[in-house]
Structure 1
Amino acid sequence: MPPPLIELKRVTKSFGVGDVQFQALKGIDMAVTQGDFVAIMGASGSGKSTTMNILGCLDVPTGGHYLFKGHDVGALNRDQRALLRRRYLGFVFQGYNLLARTSALENVELPLIYRGDGRDQRRELSLAALGKVGLTEWAGHTPAELSGGQQQRVAIARALVTSPELLLADEPTGNLDSERSVEIMRLLTDLNRISGITVVMVTHEPDMAAYARRIIHFKDGLVERIQQNSPGPAVGAAA
């Protein structure tokens, strides 16, 4: 068994102080190996989003340890956590968060601008990322000229353009109809199985979670159980 890419050890997270303190996480233990595809499920308030924020280095635990490739993220300062996000993590959200007046290509280029890549390199990498999600021919179109499924694919290309080792997807099909949801899940599954990208996804939809290799069920700030999935639905190129 390879060492975990990410590991949470007795992680707790509290908000507020005194009588108004709320403990969102009460001692989470979980590990994800390189190349895994994990879905996190649970009712509202179970700790799913808090856990994703910690995994994405957008927040830090109150107690316990978050290890990324064996390194304690809690020992990093804010700038070091930001560097970890830029180099190793990709994010896909329920809302596509695309800039309305810029093309698909320009939206995908944004992380590379922040990274300081030159114009030619940005264009080459962004076109390659759009190719991975089947949108090369739509590179010049603005979000208003794309369907919801296409906009989410642009968002996925933007997450992929920096070649992250871990893709964090928070309700990636939440704004899509059933057909477009299947399209996005097939794409994520292809990226995991063919490209070897590790995926951790929050979802409240059992049929979407069925695409993952494992489902981690949260309840009241704790891991309730871990479900091992059989191979998910048939994988194919996104329509």
Structure 2
Amino acid sequence: MKSVTESPSAPSYAVNVVLPCLDEARALPWVLERVPPAWRAIVVDNGSTDGSADIARDLGATVVTEPRRGFGAACHAGLLAADADIVCFCDCDGSLDPGLLVPFAVQVATGEADLVLGRRRPESRDAWPLHARAGNFALARMLRRRTGLRLHDLGPLRAARREALLALDLTDRRNGYPLQMVVRAADAGWRVREQDAPYLPRTGKSKVTGTWRGTWHAVRDMRRVLREVPPTARETTPAARGEANR
């Protein structure tokens, strides 16, 4: 697959892709093989016991260790470790192809959007369990009421500028992290876009949505995020910061 930095329609820019990882040894080779060649892959090991970190290093990825358990903790550790202007996120379980992030990064780089999210489109019935879909649907409706954004999915495939993400001051370190990113981006006036992404059956069992209990805990974390009071200041708006720096 052609790297975004090789695209004739896009300027040259650097991209890092953050891959939170907890015992994903079986899926890592497939995932890392599909990271665009000019991109830096940052695998954040969140306490794996199956040799995931060693496999990632052997395959050329940068490995960051985050001992504090939690999806948000792993994602944020990767964001802090990133050094590119544009940062993408993708699950490390083989359910999503990181190569799909190329047009996401292009939209951010060319100024078409501030945050691009992947709308998961399951390729088979077992790719997305019913309880996980139900939880996602409920959260999308709550998000719409809270922010006005008419999104269909709150999945892990996404792209934005690193400095803008850091300015959002994300604090959730559990399952609410992806939602908090969207909520605070909406509060800051970001242009949020959604793009279809094929969703495959994951390798191994999900740590979050593999059971009704896991899904419930995720929904609980995200409901807490939705109760956040919108900030009065808008200094996290990418355009506003640009004006302030002139």
TM exceeding 0.5: no
TM-score range, shorter chain: under 0.3
Query: Which has more radius of gyration?
Result: 1
Q: TM-score, normalised by structure 2?
A: 0.25
**Higher strand share goes to which structure?**
1
Q: TM-score, normalised by structure 1?
A: 0.26
Query: Could you say which structure has the greater relative contact order, defined with CA pairs below 8 angstroms and 6 or more residues apart?
Result: 1
